[in-house]
A and B are shown apart, each in its own frame.
Chain A
């Protein structure tokens, strides 16, 4: 029953934006372009969605009596003896108490007490299967089918739902941020509330600016469509449904990046984003094929019949893992066993196997889709260009939600990834975070800095997931969504206030003009930089904003991973250094924009603070950006996210050959060390930024000149675009030119010669017609005419002469007869 309630609530939250989209796009708002009604509809839909999501979260928590949060307390209590005993419950034992959690979330704490009777092991539910009959009250995972679309043989395509704690957190997060951004966008896009909008960035051929009707309603329609697609992606209960909504968010991204479609750069950026995503989605499709071929289902969870019995195991139940966390291999051929969990259920198909390398291929394929969507190396170049879209779009689509969908999918699909895939994920994330961070150092466009920052942080998430920090990566996903959307909205506020000036060198000293924006931005910057004040309350705790905790979790996991696998030491060193770089470029951005003296008085004089409808979301988001992760890895958010983490995560994987992946205990043992190192890096980065940009005592230009080689290399984005141009575009152009040449010479030549032959034959045919055929006909006619003409004289018209002729003729006949008979 609870499952149905949850499903209904989430479906309302999911489908309301679709209704909103239909009303907004077909509701005839083009007739009244000055109306804000479309925006209010969109806000209403998504706000209702947020309410539904939040209530769904509460209902879910009450239903299972907050076993998820409860674990923390028990884990702490059992901290003393869980270590070294290989206890089944992977605790988050730590030295830090969890007092803050109760302080910040009294309501949830209340719930937690109710659920305290639950055993410490029961939070580990990874599927319904493990939720045995006596634990149904504590059920945390709900899955089922909403609507069956089609059945092709054994392939069943359906709309499924899969609700666990991660789904609920994502739902709440997405709807909440979307609501804030919708409100912000009402202010930001108000310039579109006109019959004649002048686009100063779109130049017509005659040199004038483009004049067009405002598209306020259309923007909100696209936003609503995006919300629908994103929520559908999150609620999706099978990988195919994920793929469908994956493409839907892609098309929404395309529409929103190209919102100023008259601008050449905007339409190019939209195309680039779409096409690069297709590259990743190709891999996604290959992964889907492998999965379908060997697993025979797309569903995450089990399928039930009407009586509630399990008819088919889901993907997550099929891949059996042994106690060490390795996938079970068949004794006969060494292939990976599928469906051991359902052996009793369906003995005939119970011993299916899949070659190990195909499991890797499936994982890498799905991850390829995530690379494209989350702008990871090597497909990261589309995201900076996507900043051509309106800033609310950058905040919602290209920082908080859609690009995080790749990370979400990696997290959601985690049970299917084997060690090799995870290592790939880790390295891809590692490369991405470093490359993007270095580029962000030299970027001057305020949105570009944030875009590279986004890529870098997404890299952190991927790294975290790749080094077996399932919770860490997704934790960073949620905290990043808050502070990055906050910062994007702040930058939007700056751009709005500065009349669409995005270049930071023209700003400076803006904090006097827009204090709210500057202050909220500072919160975001501190959050992302990972600054913290250790030992504020006592020596073993820290006071920090959300970014510290999540990044700390990632770095700690990485350290644990490197300790287990020393060969991959880069996976710890690089993110550690990048943590400093992150702090550096984020404070550089803040100092550049808000501190110091105004560098362009024209911009400064006309600059103004944004209206309340834009600053209010900033303030709300800043609170969340600061405190959402309070308590760190013992805080409610982390516990909520990891409530339904895959079963093998907690223990880690201790492989006999291959990678050893750290469990929670291993991670925890290095937590303090990693946190300290990360903090040192962040503080030093901040200090350098303050030195260079805050104090104005160091000549930045001089440094730039001395390091001009490095600077130009970074400013050119590591020449990735040039590299792709050389690798893909140039050969494509050459191939295209060759095709064109081939067409023009060979095909056209064949066609032309065929045409010439036809003309030649036709001419010859014409001559034949004119001379022979016509000549014969004319000859007959002419001879007839001349014969008639010559015989004409015989017709004298004289009656008596005819009589004579008759007589003479008769005589002549007689003469002939006589002579012939005589002969």
Chain B
């Protein structure tokens, strides 16, 4: 077993276990903790798949941004220290059953399809250090494609990039609007 395979196995197991732990945890704080582990090990998997920029983004955005946001949410909405909202056993069983069914379907699909390898389709594999190609792609240039058949210029991702930027702006404004501090006119009974 090579070192790469070993690392992959470790992080894959860690990812799966953490995800399952998220599901089975009863309190939100623990769920957040396991989620951090799961997402972090996923970013390690990205590094292993030569997607170094994506992995870095995963760490920065997910682990560093989104999860902090979630923890804030946990804190803002927690009415007690270890809030537990129990799920009924029937639902848990039902969820497990559906999960198994769904898992069976996905595993069947994954195993049932003969995936084409990059060797068969021509060398397109990404060989690490993806920062530069990714940046060019987002600016409208595709070095991996254009280098091979230059006459068929492929459009990059400039326009989606712009759209996503605007989208983020709109989302930020919308989120700020939704979460702004309202002058609540709460009746005394509710307040108590």
A-B complex is real: yes
Binding site for B on A (CB under 8 A): 800, 804, 807-808, 810-811, 814-815, 818
Is there contact, CB below 8 Å, between A804 and B98?
yes
**B105 / chain A contacts, CB cutoff of 8 Å:** 810-811, 814-815
Determine the distance from Cα of A818 to Cα of B109 in the docked complex, in whole angstroms.
Answer: 10
**A808 / chain B contacts, CB cutoff of 8 Å:** 98, 101
B163 interface residue per 8 A CB criterion? no
Nearest CB of A to B89, in Å: 15
B78 interface residue per 8 A CB criterion? no
Is there contact, CB below 8 Å, between B94 and A804?
yes
Is there contact, CB below 8 Å, between B101 and A811?
yes
Nearest CB of B to A237, in Å: 106
- Over the window 103-123 of chain B, the binary record of Cβ atoms lying under 8 Å from chain A Cβ atoms (1 yes, 0 no) is 001001100000000000000
Q: Which residues of chain B from 85 to 104 have any CB-CB distance to chain A below 8 Å in the complex?
A: 91, 94-95, 98, 101-102
**A804 / chain B contacts, CB cutoff of 8 Å:** 94-95, 98
19 A-B pairs with CB atoms under 8 Å apart are: A800-B91, A804-B94, A804-B95, A804-B98, A807-B98, A807-B101, A807-B102, A808-B98, A808-B101, A810-B102, A810-B105, A811-B98, A811-B101, A811-B102, A811-B105, A814-B105, A814-B109, A815-B105, A818-B108
Since A804-B94, A807-B98, A811-B102 are in contact, a sample of 16 more A-B pairs with Cβ atoms closer than 8 Å, ordered by chain A residue number, is A800-B91, A804-B95, A804-B98, A807-B101, A807-B102, A808-B98, A808-B101, A810-B102, A810-B105, A811-B98, A811-B101, A811-B105, A814-B105, A814-B109, A815-B105, A818-B108
**B108 / chain A contacts, CB cutoff of 8 Å:** 818
**Count: A-B pairs, CB below 8 Å:** 19
Point out which of A800, A808, A811 has the most chain B C-beta atoms below 10 A from its C-beta.
A811
Determine the distance from Cα of A133 to Cα of B95 in the docked complex, in whole angstroms.
Answer: 144
**B102 / chain A contacts, CB cutoff of 8 Å:** 807, 810-811
- Over the window 43-72 of chain B, the binary record of Cβ atoms lying under 8 Å from chain A Cβ atoms (1 yes, 0 no) is 000000000000000000000000000000
**A814 / chain B contacts, CB cutoff of 8 Å:** 105, 109
Residues of B within 8 Å of A, CB-based: how many? 9
Interface majority SS (helix, strand, loop, mixed), chain B: helix
Nearest CB of B to A573, in Å: 133
Determine the distance from Cα of A514 to Cα of B105 in the docked complex, in whole angstroms.
Answer: 144
Interface majority SS (helix, strand, loop, mixed), chain A: helix
- Which A residue's beta carbon lies closest to that of B91? A800
Point out which of B95, B105, B109 has the most chain A C-beta atoms below 10 A from its C-beta.
B105
- Which A residue's beta carbon lies closest to that of B104? A811
- Which B residue's beta carbon lies closest to that of A800? B91
**A815 / chain B contacts, CB cutoff of 8 Å:** 105
**A811 / chain B contacts, CB cutoff of 8 Å:** 98, 101-102, 105
Determine the distance from Cα of A808 to Cα of B95 in the docked complex, in whole angstroms.
Answer: 11
Determine the distance from Cα of A800 to Cα of B98 in the docked complex, in whole angstroms.
Answer: 13
**B91 / chain A contacts, CB cutoff of 8 Å:** 800
Nearest CB of A to B63, in Å: 25
**A807 / chain B contacts, CB cutoff of 8 Å:** 98, 101-102
- Which B residue's beta carbon lies closest to that of A818? B108
Nearest CB of A to B105, in Å: 5
Determine the distance from Cα of A800 to Cα of B94 in the docked complex, in whole angstroms.
Answer: 12
Binding site for A on B (CB under 8 A): 91, 94-95, 98, 101-102, 105, 108-109
- Which A residue's beta carbon lies closest to that of B95? A804
Determine the distance from Cα of A814 to Cα of B102 in the docked complex, in whole angstroms.
Answer: 10
Nearest CB of B to A806, in Å: 10
**B95 / chain A contacts, CB cutoff of 8 Å:** 804
**B94 / chain A contacts, CB cutoff of 8 Å:** 804
Nearest CB of B to A151, in Å: 92
**A818 / chain B contacts, CB cutoff of 8 Å:** 108
Q: Which 4 pairs show the lowest CB-CB distances between chains A and B?
A: A814-B105, A807-B98, A811-B101, A811-B105
**A800 / chain B contacts, CB cutoff of 8 Å:** 91
- Which B residue's beta carbon lies closest to that of A804? B98
Determine the distance from Cα of A815 to Cα of B105 in the docked complex, in whole angstroms.
Answer: 8
Determine the distance from Cα of A718 to Cα of B142 in the docked complex, in whole angstroms.
Answer: 133
Nearest CB of A to B98, in Å: 5
Determine the distance from Cα of A808 to Cα of B97 in the docked complex, in whole angstroms.
Answer: 10
- Which B residue's beta carbon lies closest to that of A808? B98
Determine the distance from Cα of A808 to Cα of B108 in the docked complex, in whole angstroms.
Answer: 16
**B98 / chain A contacts, CB cutoff of 8 Å:** 804, 807-808, 811
- Which A residue's beta carbon lies closest to that of B112? A818
Nearest CB of A to B86, in Å: 13
Determine the distance from Cα of A441 to Cα of B125 in the docked complex, in whole angstroms.
Answer: 149
Determine the distance from Cα of A800 to Cα of B91 in the docked complex, in whole angstroms.
Answer: 10
Point out which of A804, A814, A818 has the most chain B C-beta atoms below 10 A from its C-beta.
A814
Determine the distance from Cα of A811 to Cα of B91 in the docked complex, in whole angstroms.
Answer: 18
Determine the distance from Cα of A811 to Cα of B101 in the docked complex, in whole angstroms.
Answer: 7
**A810 / chain B contacts, CB cutoff of 8 Å:** 102, 105
Nearest CB of B to A290, in Å: 104
Determine the distance from Cα of A810 to Cα of B102 in the docked complex, in whole angstroms.
Answer: 8
- Which B residue's beta carbon lies closest to that of A813? B105
Nearest CB of B to A811, in Å: 5
- Which A residue's beta carbon lies closest to that of B109? A814
**B101 / chain A contacts, CB cutoff of 8 Å:** 807-808, 811
Nearest CB of B to A419, in Å: 122
Point out which of B94, B98, B108 has the most chain A C-beta atoms below 10 A from its C-beta.
B98
Nearest CB of B to A709, in Å: 123
Determine the distance from Cα of A396 to Cα of B108 in the docked complex, in whole angstroms.
Answer: 132
Nearest CB of A to B64, in Å: 28
Nearest CB of B to A111, in Å: 128
Point out which of B91, B101, B108 has the most chain A C-beta atoms below 10 A from its C-beta.
B101
- Which A residue's beta carbon lies closest to that of B87? A800
**B109 / chain A contacts, CB cutoff of 8 Å:** 814
Nearest CB of A to B134, in Å: 32
Determine the distance from Cα of A810 to Cα of B101 in the docked complex, in whole angstroms.
Answer: 10
- Which A residue's beta carbon lies closest to that of B101? A811
- Which B residue's beta carbon lies closest to that of A814? B105
Nearest CB of B to A90, in Å: 132
Nearest CB of B to A440, in Å: 119
Determine the distance from Cα of A804 to Cα of B98 in the docked complex, in whole angstroms.
Answer: 8
Determine the distance from Cα of A810 to Cα of B106 in the docked complex, in whole angstroms.
Answer: 11
Nearest CB of A to B107, in Å: 12
Determine the distance from Cα of A815 to Cα of B95 in the docked complex, in whole angstroms.
Answer: 19
Determine the distance from Cα of A804 to Cα of B105 in the docked complex, in whole angstroms.
Answer: 15
Determine the distance from Cα of A553 to Cα of B98 in the docked complex, in whole angstroms.
Answer: 145
Determine the distance from Cα of A771 to Cα of B39 in the docked complex, in whole angstroms.
Answer: 67
Determine the distance from Cα of A818 to Cα of B101 in the docked complex, in whole angstroms.
Answer: 14
Determine the distance from Cα of A814 to Cα of B109 in the docked complex, in whole angstroms.
Answer: 9
Determine the distance from Cα of A804 to Cα of B102 in the docked complex, in whole angstroms.
Answer: 11
Nearest CB of A to B136, in Å: 37
Determine the distance from Cα of A162 to Cα of B95 in the docked complex, in whole angstroms.
Answer: 130
- Which A residue's beta carbon lies closest to that of B94? A804
Determine the distance from Cα of A808 to Cα of B105 in the docked complex, in whole angstroms.
Answer: 11
Determine the distance from Cα of A686 to Cα of B105 in the docked complex, in whole angstroms.
Answer: 149
Nearest CB of B to A808, in Å: 6
Determine the distance from Cα of A760 to Cα of B98 in the docked complex, in whole angstroms.
Answer: 67
Determine the distance from Cα of A818 to Cα of B105 in the docked complex, in whole angstroms.
Answer: 10
Nearest CB of B to A45, in Å: 103
Determine the distance from Cα of A456 to Cα of B41 in the docked complex, in whole angstroms.
Answer: 147
Determine the distance from Cα of A800 to Cα of B109 in the docked complex, in whole angstroms.
Answer: 26
- Which A residue's beta carbon lies closest to that of B105? A814
Nearest CB of A to B34, in Å: 20
Nearest CB of A to B111, in Å: 13
Nearest CB of B to A815, in Å: 8
Nearest CB of B to A165, in Å: 120
Determine the distance from Cα of A800 to Cα of B108 in the docked complex, in whole angstroms.
Answer: 26
Determine the distance from Cα of A818 to Cα of B108 in the docked complex, in whole angstroms.
Answer: 10
Nearest CB of A to B96, in Å: 12
Determine the distance from Cα of A776 to Cα of B189 in the docked complex, in whole angstroms.
Answer: 54
Determine the distance from Cα of A808 to Cα of B102 in the docked complex, in whole angstroms.
Answer: 8
Determine the distance from Cα of A808 to Cα of B101 in the docked complex, in whole angstroms.
Answer: 9
Determine the distance from Cα of A245 to Cα of B153 in the docked complex, in whole angstroms.
Answer: 110
Nearest CB of A to B184, in Å: 24
- Which A residue's beta carbon lies closest to that of B106? A814
Determine the distance from Cα of A818 to Cα of B106 in the docked complex, in whole angstroms.
Answer: 12
Determine the distance from Cα of A808 to Cα of B99 in the docked complex, in whole angstroms.
Answer: 10
Determine the distance from Cα of A807 to Cα of B105 in the docked complex, in whole angstroms.
Answer: 11
Nearest CB of A to B31, in Å: 15
